[in-house]
Amino acid sequence: MKKRILTGITTTGTPHIGNYLGAIRPAINMSKKYDESFFFLADYHSIIKNKNSSEIQDSVKSIALAWLSCGLDVKKSYFYRQSDVPEIIELSWILNCITAKGLMNRAHAYKAAVDSNDKDDDKGITMGLFSYPILMAADILIFDSTHVPVGSDQIQHLEMTRDIANRFNHIYKPLLIVPEPIIHDKDNTIPGLDGKKMSKSYGNIIPLLENEKKLRKSIMKIVTNSLEPGIAKDFNDCTIYSLYKSFASNEELLELEDAYSNGIAWSDAKEILFNKINKELSPIRIKYEELKSDNDFINDLLNEGAKKARSIAKNKISQIREVIGIKEIL
């Protein structure tokens, strides 16, 4: 059986360094180790929280450009919009019909939404939010994915996918592949400007595709303590050092650690970080500038990716229809 890796990319907001280090770079590197890799823009997932149609459209473009600019090889991978593969939505409904409500009641995102309400548990909770893990399961199972890279905050959803696949196989026949998780951020939370996890919702991001001037401005905003130059500094639990570690070699890390011991000024430490990040992002920005105005190229590429993906999805949904009884009357 072929080893297939699948990664979903939520199309909300603009890409940042946290996305690059936590998802884009490791997923692209990982794709080289598997027989086939699937990367999709999860635009149907994005409408669970975002009701601004223009923002979603802009985000689809910027996220697609980020992955392409970072080196995603579309000749070796399947790269497509979720919404261009309707078989995913069909499978989502089928899986809804066999999934226990009790399983969905345990989903972290749903429980957090309920806990944030005072009197009415259901206030502001849509069926999209409630059944999000089922759509995620359909994304994965339609392509017989064998391995799925997930962040530690998503591991529960993949366990639910495994439960749903096993239930389907028990009710009908062993038709769905039960995927294995690859936890890629177990020991690697990317800090933002304030030291908390880098996130658009916290407003503490370092942009991925902005120009050199804006990149430098963001890095210079990293929060540090008030220790003056000449006073030894602790690199443990330091945002500058933590970010530098994701880009630097072991030798470069040792040099920075030595500089901390010798009382490096925070401004100099930030300059070292900027130069290192800028060096890696420079070719990515160049590629981004080349691609960003060519909408026809991006659309053609995604349409071709969807065509390739649908050839697999159509075959799978045909098999599923057969076993559940949705077929021609004999």
Does residue 103 sit in the same domain as residue 233? no
Residue 241 lies in a domain: yes
pTM of the model: 0.89
Does residue 95 sit in the same domain as residue 165? yes
pLDDT at 187 over 70: no
Residue 197 lies in a domain: no
- Residues spanned by the domain of 114: 4-189+293-324
pLDDT at 328 over 70: yes
Does residue 231 sit in the same domain as residue 304? no
Read off the pLDDT of residues 254-272 as tens digits, 9 standing for 90 and up. 999 999 999 999 999 999 9
Average pLDDT, rounded, for the chain: 93
Alpha helix positions (H), the chain: 17-19, 25-31, 43-46, 53-69, 86-96, 101-105, 108-116, 127-130, 132-141, 155-171, 212-219, 239-245, 250-261, 266-291, 295-324
Does residue 275 sit in the same domain as residue 161? no
Q: Which amino acid is it at 39?
A: F
Average pLDDT over residues 81-92: 98
Does residue 229 sit in the same domain as residue 96? no
Does residue 169 sit in the same domain as residue 244? no
Number of domains in the chain: 2
Does residue 304 sit in the same domain as residue 155? yes
